[in-house]
């Protein structure tokens, strides 16, 4: 497995595009299509938010067969909290795309992200879909990655070469990030040949160690989804134990990379925070403890202020469900021990300065309660986060 330069269209048989159809007032790209020459084995994980957006409701139904051929994604408008008309509009997006692509209606899924509570401008989206279909190309991957963004500052993409097959992913996400399944929108393509049931199993596992361990602001979206497509055009089959483990490793890597990029690009963020909890009594303890640390607003604000306030970290740790003896806990920041057996260690001003020079700060927490570990990712809480969300009408 090695990282290569590429895009969502790098696997054989995939094309994509990203265009401006007028949803965003800024004039930026706002409509993307990802398309496979042939139907794909497919799997998805959707938001557990009870106020699901119509595109999620529609795409959940479309995914039941485990086969899709195209993803249509718009940004600038989430088509959420739009009632029956929102459902009608989501199905119209499916219909229009299926006819333009000349594929089965059952093989198209749709996603939308952006402002909540506004109907989609279908008079712009319908012709936009037709224009986008005519614009599909092998060179359209970066445009697609750009067209799904909202408050993001950067595109998020990664491509891996694994033996004879390729696997790629793109994602959007910057705010309203704290899922119980995945986060934001992430789309994964591969030309490996894999059964949809196995792909679904491995995708869920990948989500659990990546997007489920991510928080920017502890707020769950109505529109979160992760969708994977495998068309098998490389001829490389994922069947036996060895090939499954190899594919799992690559899929985990893709999802973890995208999750970290979302945290790094969090609204107003200046630092990426990684919490590594080791020697927990159980995997659930490790995950819960790590997630609590990176979700603490007090801790995140301290990091923004360059204040090595470890009390906020252990306070968040203590609020988790993890079982441990507080008198045994050790904490390290960028390899510098700041807590020993639950108590403070003297950290010099020069050491603290060294820690806060890093754009990516890793906190390692040793619970000394077992043999399990987990990682979680978040970002600091800045003035700009408040400004962005005070001005972003949802």
pLDDT of 216 reads 63
Q: pLDDT at position 176, please?
A: 45
Beta bridge partners of 190: 167, 230
Q: And the tokens for 300?
A: 């995140």
Please tell me the distance from the alpha carbon of residue 72 to that of residue 34, in angstroms, as a whole number. Answer: 7
Per-residue HEC secondary structure of the chain comes to CEECCCCCCCCCCEEEEEECCCCCCCCCCCEEEEEEEEEEEEEEEECCCCCCCHHHHHHHHHHHHCEEEEEEEEEEECCCCCHHHHHHHHHHHHHHHHHHHCCCHHHEEEEEEEECCCCCCHHHHHHHHHHHHHCCECCCHHHHHHHCCCCCCCCEEEEEEECCEEEEEEEECCCCCCCCCCCCEEEEEECCECCHHHHHHHHHHHHHCCHHHECCCCCCCCCCEEEEEECCCCCCECCCHHHHHHHHHHHHHHHHHHHHHHHHCCCCCCCEEEEEEEEECCHHHHHHHHHHHHHCHHHHHHHHCCCCCHHHHHHHHHCCCCCCCHHHCEEEECCEEEEECCEECCCCHHHHHHHHCCCEEEEEEECCCCCEEEEEEEECCCHHHHHHHHHCCC
User: How do residues 91-128 score in pLDDT, each as one tens digit?
Assistant: 999 999 999 999 999 999 999 988 888 999 999 999 99
Q: Could you list the mean pLDDT of each consecutive 10-residue stretch along the chain, which spans 394 residues?
A: 96 98 92 98 88 92 97 94 96 98 98 91 98 98 93 86 97 59 76 97 94 71 85 97 97 94 75 95 96 91 87 93 97 94 85 88 96 92 70 52
Mean pLDDT of the chain: 90
pLDDT tens across 292-333, in order? Answer: 999 898 998 888 888 888 889 999 999 999 999 999 999 999
Token duo for residue 339: 């807590």
Domains in the chain, CATH or no CATH each: 2-264 (3.60.70.12), 272-391 (3.10.20.340)
The whole-number pLDDT of residue 179 equals 52
pLDDT at 391: 65
pLDDT of residue 85: 98
Give me the catalytic one of 15, 183, 190, 222: 183
What residue has token string 């093989």?
107
Q: What is the pLDDT of residue 394?
A: 41
Residue 176 near residue 220 (C-beta atoms within 8 A) = yes
Residue 45 confidence (pLDDT): 92
pLDDT in the model for residue 204: 95
pLDDT attached to residue 221: 59
pLDDT score recorded for residue 223: 73
Q: Is 159 a catalytic residue?
A: no
């Amino acid at each position: 497995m090695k990282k290569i330069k590429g895009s969502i269209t790098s696997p054989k048989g995939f094309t994509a595009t990203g265009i401006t159809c007028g949803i965003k007032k800024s004039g930026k790209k706002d409509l993307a299509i990802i398309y496979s020459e042939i139907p794909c084995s497919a799997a998805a994980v959707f938001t557990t938010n009870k106020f699901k957006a119509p595109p999620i409701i529609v795409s959940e139904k479309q995914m039941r067969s485990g086969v899709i051929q195209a993803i249509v994604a718009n940004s600038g408008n989430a088509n959420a909290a739009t009632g029956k008309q929102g459902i009608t509009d989501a199905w119209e997006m499916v219909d229009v795309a299926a006819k333009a692509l000349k594929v089965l209606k059952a093989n198209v899924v749709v996603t939308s992200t952006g402002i909540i509570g506004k109907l989609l401008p279908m008079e712009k989206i319908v012709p936009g879909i037709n224009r986008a279909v005519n614009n599909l190309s092998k060179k359209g991957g970066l445009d697609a990655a750009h067209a799904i963004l909202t408050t993001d500052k950067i595109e998020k993409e990664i491509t891996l070469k694994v033996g004879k097959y390729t696997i790629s992913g793109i994602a959007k996400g910057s705010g309203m990030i704290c899922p119980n399944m995945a986060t934001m929108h992430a789309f994964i393509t591969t030309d490996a040949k894999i059964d949809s049931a196995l792909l679904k199993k491995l995708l869920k596992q990948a989500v659990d160690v990546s997007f489920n361990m991510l928080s920017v602001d502890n707020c769950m979206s109505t529109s979160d989804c992760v969708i994977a497509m495998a068309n098998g055009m490389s001829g490389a089959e994922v069947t036996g134990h060895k090939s499954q483990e190899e594919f799992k490793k690559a899929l985990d890597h893709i999802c973890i990379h995208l999750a970290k990029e979302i945290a790094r690009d969090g609204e107003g963020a200046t630092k990426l925070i990684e919490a590594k909890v080791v020697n927990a009594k159980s995997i659930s303890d490790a995950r819960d403890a790590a997630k609590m640390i990176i979700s603490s607003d007090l801790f995140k604000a301290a990091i923004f202020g360059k204040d090595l306030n470890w009390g906020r970290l252990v306070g968040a740790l203590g609020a988790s469900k993890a079982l441990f003896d507080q008198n045994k806990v050790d904490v390290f920041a960028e390899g510098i021990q700041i807590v020993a057996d639950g108590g403070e260690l003297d950290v010099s001003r020069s050491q603290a300065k060294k820690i806060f020079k890093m754009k990516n700060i890793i906190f390692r927490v040793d619970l000394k309660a077992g043999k399990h570990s987990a990682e979680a990712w978040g970002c600091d809480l800045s003035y700009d986060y408040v400004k962005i969300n005070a001005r972003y009408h949802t």
